[in-house]
Structure 1
Amino acid sequence: MKFQIEVIKSKIHRVTVTQANLNYVGSITIDEELLDAANMIEGEKVQIMDINNGERFETYIIKGERGSGAICLNGAAARKVQVGDVVIIASYALMDFEDAKAFRPWIVFPDTETNRLIR
């Protein structure tokens, strides 16, 4: 039997929310440097997990200015976080069960204070 399962594809582990913009259509703005490192793209669906308050919700990515450290929750998502909260951002992919056994996700561990990549 052949089937597909959903697995973690990419994760940005522990970044700090820099802005919350309620008066915006929706989404999360993420520094383009972090997106590249985590192999994420603009428009991709992501799950946000707030370490400070336990909230878990889904939205989509908007590309932020490269090197800015921006992590901004927009629209309704802005109500689920506070500036200064630490969040985990994850995306998932469907793949063949056998392929999933060998797959290794892109996981990024930026500096939590600056949201910049640790070199």
Structure 2
Amino acid sequence: MEKYVGGKLHGIRVTGSKLNYHGSITIDADFCREVGLKPLEYVEIWNKMSGARISTYVLYGKGGSRCCILNGAAARTCQEGDEIIIASSIYGEVGDIIALKPRVLVFDADNGVVDRITYEVFRRPDGSLDMTVTSEVPDNDYGFPTTMVSGAHPPSSLLERRDRD
């Protein structure tokens, strides 16, 4: 069993904190459902502003609220307005991550979704592993090419291009 990314909220902004509340993070339920975060699931939180890294569990906030509220001790690690990354994990075999196709939401400064990304791991014809990253944003600047792949295997032209690169 290995640990893999299960889903991610990238660049979501902290909208509040409740220091005297029992620990957790409250996140807009619509965001959670879209990337597969479950209530009470443990997640890793990485603060892009301070470098702080913590883990806590998810509480669903009101759908459509765009909320991201750190509770309890977690409230000490982030300030309102900080940009954070929230990632869930799964433990499994390679086949599990191939089947999952983890989803990522990317946010603007107002917690509006500006991109939806899918990570797709697959086996190449020789059996080795590879992956594609599918973004809804053409010519994104994330450092990976935008690919639109349907099915579990990319077209041979994609494999041929990767072999040349």
Normalising by structure 1, report the TM-score.
0.89
**Which residue identity is paired with 1:32?**
A
Cα deviations by residue, 1:61-113 (Å, 9 ceiling, x for unpaired): 00001111100000000001111100000000011134435642111113x22
Q: Does 1:105 align with 2:102?
A: yes
Identity of counterpart residues, as a percentage? 36
- Partner residue, 1:94: 91
* Structure 2 unaligned residues grouped into runs of 5+: 116-165
- 1:67 equivalent in alignment to 2:53: no
What letter is aligned with 2:5? I
Which consecutive unaligned segments of at least 5 residues does structure 1 have?
Answer: none
Match of 1:19 in 2: 16
SS of residue matched to 1:109:
strand
SS in 1 for 2:20: coil
- Identify the structure with bigger relative contact order (alpha carbons < 8 Å, sequence gap 6+): 1
| Corresponding letter in the other structure for 2:19 | L
Distance 1:98 1:41 in 2: 21
Tell me how large the CA RMSD over aligned residues is: 1.5
Larger radius of gyration: 2
Query: Is 1:80 aligned to 2:77, yes or no?
Result: yes
Structure 2 residue 80 is the aligned partner of structure 1 residue 116: no
Q: 1:7 aligns with which of 4, 8, 25?
A: 4
d(CA) in 1 for partners of 2:81, 2:22: 22
How many residues are matched?
A: 115
